[in-house]
Structure 1
Amino acid sequence: MNEYLVTSESVTEGHPDKLCDQISDGILDRYLEQDPEARVAVEVMASKNTIMIAGEVSARVVLDVVEIARQVIRDIGYDDERKGLDYQTCLVLTNLNHQSPDIARGVDQLSSDQLALWEPSSQGCRWVRKEEPRAGAIKDLGAGDQGIMYGYASNETVNYLPMTIDLASKLARRLGQIRKTGQVAWLYPDGKTQVTMKYDHKGRPLAITSIVISAQHQDGISASEIEAVILNRVIRPVIDEKWLTPTTRIHINPTGRFVIGGPLGDTGLTGRKIMVDTYGGVGKHGGGAFSGKDPTKVDRTGAYMGRYVAKNIVAAGLADRCEVSLAYAIGLPEPEAIGINTFGTEHIDRAIIESRVRKGFSFSVNQMIKTLKLKRPQFLKTAAYGHFGREDQGFAWEETNHMEVLLNNE
């Protein structure tokens, strides 16, 4: 009784939506390399050998975003229209504008007379100083938008992710690895994975009930060969046999054919795979996407901070599961609300956990950026295979270096 199923999906880096996320974050990284204070909000659409880049950028540099986009497309492996896109021949359209001064006023805490010291440059999307602002004009960073963000952690895996999204992401990453290393020459960039797991009434994983993998492939490859390769080179190296049962269903390319893929088969958009990016439907999501946004956008920074806090709470043994929520108002540096939900799995009084979090962490926009080292270029790495649980990528929000503060903060 009270057993239940949880399903999570992931996608490969060649999925049309993930392609767009990576172009957006590739552009963001290049701006941050040359101007850590750049304000970037870039969206991408991909469809039938055409890429559209739009958004707002205010920076001290002008970059060739078309060339950045082509490099990202090439690195993913789209080098032939038969695969769904060709980085050399695709049409790349751009429509980048300056950040609204109304948003800049809130983010940089500038008054109208201080904003008047800046003007758009005629040489691309950047602002230039007409004169220096008075000392201390920028006191703090305000949130770049309103909204609520969530972070989540669970002790059911070593990287504190729900097991279903962890396995789905690893299957997708493995699918990409055997393609990009040349182990399976007929694999193409697009692909999706899905894992359904049964849990007991205490939230403990019991068994995988189904695995679904759809892998784009070269025309002329038999279904039997595809199934054998995916089973032996993708599923078996990733999935521990203890989670499989005689009734576990494995579906590989369920339609029998997946030749037309990428932007040729489906339009891609930045920010359309937010559950793939986070926790696979386990835990809440505030709705804001991450990719293409600089760290003043709390959609991204607040979600990373929530994950950091939740992971440290669970790693410290204060709870088995934890969800942290943060709510912000545009232009204000501090959150309007901080929430801690441990789903009844806490090992000390939840009020004590909440008190220690408030004392041990700073949630101002400035401090979150500093704590999580978000002015450095690192975001292209987040744009495929999940923003969380990637402990080998050097992301500060995945560190568990705040456990002692939570354990000793009285």
Structure 2
Amino acid sequence: MAVVQTACKKSAKASRPDHRCKATSEVQRVSFNLHAGIFRRFTGRIAVANNDFLFTSESVSEGHPDKVADQISDSILDAILEQDPTARVAAETLCNTGLVVLAGEITTTANVDYIQVARDTIKRIGYDNTEYGIDYKGCAVLVAYDKQSPDIAQGVDRSSEEVLNQGAGDQGLMFGYACDETPDLMPAPIWYAHRLVQRQSELRKDGRLPWLRPDAKSQVTFRYVDGKPAEVDTVVLSTQHAPDISQAEIHEAVIENIIKPSFPDGLLTPKTKFMINPTGVFVIGGPQGDCGLTGRKIIVDTYGGACPHGGGAFSGKDPSKVDRSAAYAARYVAKNIVAAGLARQCQVQVSYAIGVAEPINITVYTEGTGVIPDEQIARLVRENFDLRPKGIINMLDLLRPIYAKTAAYGHFGRAEPEFSWEASDKVQALKKAA
């Protein structure tokens, strides 16, 4: 930059004060390209035309210790919202061998048996035997909730002429993403990774593979050609199991009953590598194998690394927390943009200041796939979506007890009737406005 600025000064001395300095233009061009490059870099994937690359995402089952914690937190949130839709909830959970700790901040008029909610959640997941490391009947549950800080509450709840001017519950940045790689407009690696662990859970619960246990992880690596998913390079699947089954039996059953039915014809090839329980044994799992904490699977919860993440977890938070509600809204925006045919890929960033209703920025980036300029799409977003916190809550009807279902197998890319942020009901409005 210094060299260019020096050149600019020399040019100015050279007698053309009425004309724009070419060196200054070069500085701005370099700055713009640098900014665009940084933005592209942090979209997670760099899709280079006429080039192929590998991209990997992972998922975990409902029995993974961190997901046990997420589901307890969101089940507590739902139990509160059933009685008190305007409650302020930030419910955190820790789970270890035989122990669950509930902490955080809750301000509500609801009367909830938090201990029973935690036990019911653990039972629903499938931890109903002391041999699994945690048993809903006998585990200890400690409760240590405080109320929401009044300093935070005054920024969120302060009166205004318009109820829509409810302030954001915290500062932060959130991202939403959609692409045309799968029917649900999600990146292929995370979408199929979720399908694998969902299939594992299904076969465990219906008894077809009775030796399966609740804890499992999947990882899918896709080969992209010309920026599009072409084939599966590697599948890793680790599943907790009963101690009396051989690894050979596990290997065959997982490939034939879990992996192959989860992919359509053509994606798995003779070159696809399968890695089943690579450590050899996975008997000890769940909270006994690892301590579980709410909010530690934020990439699994979103897009599998295919786009940036603002860092805020979702589970246990009521929708006044923009970490959750604005991320849902950003997905809603991005999905409608792609569904409307305005782009094949779309990343949306929004950011907020605590206590302030209007978002600081709304930025759209279509990775070069937009049919109109990104700035024009961003204008359409501002005109068609109310991204103030209360506007988001109203737009997506977020004061319902719908969150326990989100806490396993991804918050996005699922055709669940409660998931209002997965609707494509703004498509016609966007097409008309474009």
- Normalised to the residue count of structure 1, the TM-score between the two structures is 0.92
**Structure 2 contact 364–375 (Cα < 8 Å) conserved:** no
Paired with 1:138 and 1:227, the residues of 2 have a C-alpha distance of: 57
Letter in 1 for 2:52: E
Paired with 1:241 and 1:211, the residues of 2 have a C-alpha distance of: 15
**1:137 shift after superposition:** 9.7
Moved over 6 A (4+): 136-139
Partner residue of 2:181?
A: 156
- Name the % identity: 51
Question: Any unmatched runs of 5+ in structure 2?
Answer: 1-49
Per-residue CA deviations over 1:54-78 (Å, capped at 9, x if unaligned) read 0111111121100000000000000
Q: Secondary structure at the match of 2:223?
A: strand
Paired with 1:229 and 1:138, the residues of 2 have a C-alpha distance of: 56
Deviates more, 1:6-15 or 1:80-89: 80-89
Partner residue of 1:200?
A: 225
**Structure 1 contact 360–409 (Cα < 8 Å) conserved:** no
Partner residue of 2:103?
A: 54
Match of 1:219 among 239, 243, 256: 243
Per-residue CA deviations over 1:164-215 (Å, capped at 9, x if unaligned) read 00000000100001111121111110000000001123x1111111000000
Asked if 1:406 corresponds to 2:426, the answer is no
Asked if 1:395 corresponds to 2:391, the answer is no
Match of 1:95 among 122, 136, 144: 144
Match of 2:280 among 232, 237, 256: 256
**1:340 shift after superposition:** 0.3
Change (3 A) 1:33 1:215: same
**1:337 shift after superposition:** 0.7
Match of 1:244 among 268, 275, 279: 268
Q: How well do the aligned residues superpose, as a CA RMSD in angstroms? A: 1.3
Match of 1:320 among 325, 336, 344: 344
Match of 2:330 among 306, 309, 313: 306
Q: Secondary structure at the match of 1:227?
A: helix
Paired with 2:303 and 2:52, the residues of 1 have a C-alpha distance of: 20
Letter in 1 for 2:139: C
Question: Any unmatched runs of 5+ in structure 1?
Answer: 112-135
Match of 1:191 among 216, 223, 227: 216
Per-residue CA deviations over 1:288-339 (Å, capped at 9, x if unaligned) read 0000000000000010000000000000000000000000000011101110
Paired with 2:130 and 2:323, the residues of 1 have a C-alpha distance of: 34
**Structure 1 contact 74–87 (Cα < 8 Å) conserved:** yes
Paired with 1:40 and 1:406, the residues of 2 have a C-alpha distance of: 34
**1:394 shift after superposition:** 2.9
Partner residue of 1:19?
A: 68
Per-residue CA deviations over 1:97-135 (Å, capped at 9, x if unaligned) read 111001110111259xxxxxxxxxxxxxxxxxxxxxxxx
Letter in 1 for 2:388: S
**Structure 2 contact 166–390 (Cα < 8 Å) conserved:** yes
Paired with 2:371 and 2:162, the residues of 1 have a C-alpha distance of: 46
Q: Secondary structure at the match of 1:143?
A: coil
Partner residue of 1:293?
A: 317
Paired with 1:137 and 1:231, the residues of 2 have a C-alpha distance of: 57
Q: Secondary structure at the match of 1:57?
A: strand
**Structure 1 contact 104–110 (Cα < 8 Å) conserved:** no
**1:83 shift after superposition:** 1.3
Asked if 1:377 corresponds to 2:401, the answer is yes
Asked if 1:167 corresponds to 2:192, the answer is yes
Partner residue of 2:292?
A: 268
Match of 2:131 among 60, 82, 106: 82
Paired with 1:206 and 1:393, the residues of 2 have a C-alpha distance of: 31
Paired with 1:110 and 1:357, the residues of 2 have a C-alpha distance of: 27
Per-residue CA deviations over 1:254-274 (Å, capped at 9, x if unaligned) read 111100001111010000000
Q: Secondary structure at the match of 1:60?
A: coil
Change (3 A) 1:359 1:223: same
Partner residue of 2:89?
A: 40
Paired with 2:181 and 2:164, the residues of 1 have a C-alpha distance of: 42
Match of 1:3 among 37, 45, 52: 52
Number of residues of Structure 1 aligned to a counterpart in Structure 2: 385
Deviates more, 1:82-91 or 1:157-166: 82-91
- Normalised to the residue count of structure 2, the TM-score between the two structures is 0.87
Q: Secondary structure at the match of 2:165?
A: coil
Paired with 2:314 and 2:344, the residues of 1 have a C-alpha distance of: 26
From the two aligned structures, give the one with the greater helix fraction: 2
